[in-house]
């Protein structure tokens, strides 16, 4: 695990970049993980830091989440200028003129079939539940006993195996099923292009965030929140630790802006 002093030096370099993008996963990063997804809320310190960063010159903030965009907006209450990537990259909001996600007939049929499979699994495994998204369904097992959760995931994978064209991904006590083949790495690439960023800060906590860590460039900073194997160069223990890092980055970026515009 890199030392905090190493991260501080990386933040100093990042703060001086001409155009900065701060892109963050939400659950487990901006918000602590909670039992019920609808109860998640951003930590006040993180929310305040993101708002302050977004107000700085040549600085863009974004959230990249596995949540559907509607759910992300509801729990995160993002600032109007914050860009949003939902459903692991399948949904994007880059401004009022952004086109909504639409499925072709084949994708819509495939989504219905996948939902039927997951619904049957949920009915047979207490403590699991289904979340519907515009481009997929999610099997949640956080409230189930460990053995029940494992059986549910195995049953879902077996039932989905016969459906061609699905993207099935494991996460933290979830099984994500999508009819759109997109990931957070592609979402981050889109945000980089739209913002014209010369450097990026990305923070995530789950295996699905590794797609984004994998596309980071040498001048970027990737931060893994919590335990687990990762391609990120830096690691913090909790969302509370990230709040402090965002505050540090704001102070450094503000000072750089002040020195460039006396």
CA dist 35 and 12 (Å) reads 36
Question: For the chain, how are helix, strand and coil distributed in percent, rounded to 5?
Answer: 45, 20, 35
Pick from 34, 117, 122, 26: which is nearest to 71 by CA? Answer: 26
Catalytic-residue membership of 25? yes
The bridge status of strand 59-64 relative to strand 20-24 is parallel
Distances (CA, A) of 4 to 1, 10, 79: 9, 10, 29
Which of 13, 25, 104, 248 is catalytic? The answer is: 25
Residue 254 three-state SS: helix
Provide φ and ψ at 201, rounded to 5°.
-105, 125
Active site residues: 25
């Amino acid at each position: 695990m890199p030392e905090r002093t190493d991260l501080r030096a990386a933040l100093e370099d990042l703060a001086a970049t001409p155009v900065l993008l701060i892109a963050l996963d939400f659950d487990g990063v901006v918000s602590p993980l909670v039992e019920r997804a609808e109860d998640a809320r951003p930590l006040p310190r993180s929310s305040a830091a993101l708002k302050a960063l977004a107000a700085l010159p040549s600085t863009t903030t974004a959230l990249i989440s596995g949540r559907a965009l509607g759910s992300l907006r509801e729990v995160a209450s993002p600032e109007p200028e914050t860009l949003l990537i939902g459903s692991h990259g399948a949904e994007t909001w880059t401004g009022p003129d952004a086109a909504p996600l639409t499925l072709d007939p084949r994708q819509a049929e495939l989504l219905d079939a996948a939902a039927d499979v997951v619904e049957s699994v949920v009915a047979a495994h207490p403590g699991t539940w289904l979340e519907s998204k515009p481009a997929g369904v999610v099997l949640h097992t956080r409230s189930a006993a460990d053995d029940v959760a494992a059986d549910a995931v195995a049953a879902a994978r077996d039932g989905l195996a016969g459906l061609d064209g699905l993207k099935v991904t494991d996460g933290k006590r979830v099984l994500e099923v999508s009819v759109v083949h997109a990931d957070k790495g592609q979402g981050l690439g889109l945000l980089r292009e739209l913002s014209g960023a010369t450097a990026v800060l990305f923070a995530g906590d789950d295996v699905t965030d590794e797609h984004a860590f994998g596309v980071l460039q040498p001048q970027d900073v990737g931060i893994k929140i919590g335990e687990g194997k990762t391609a990120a160069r830096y690691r913090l223990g909790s969302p509370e630790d990230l709040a402090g890092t965002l505050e540090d980055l704001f102070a450094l970026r503000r000072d750089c802006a002040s020195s460039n515009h006396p």
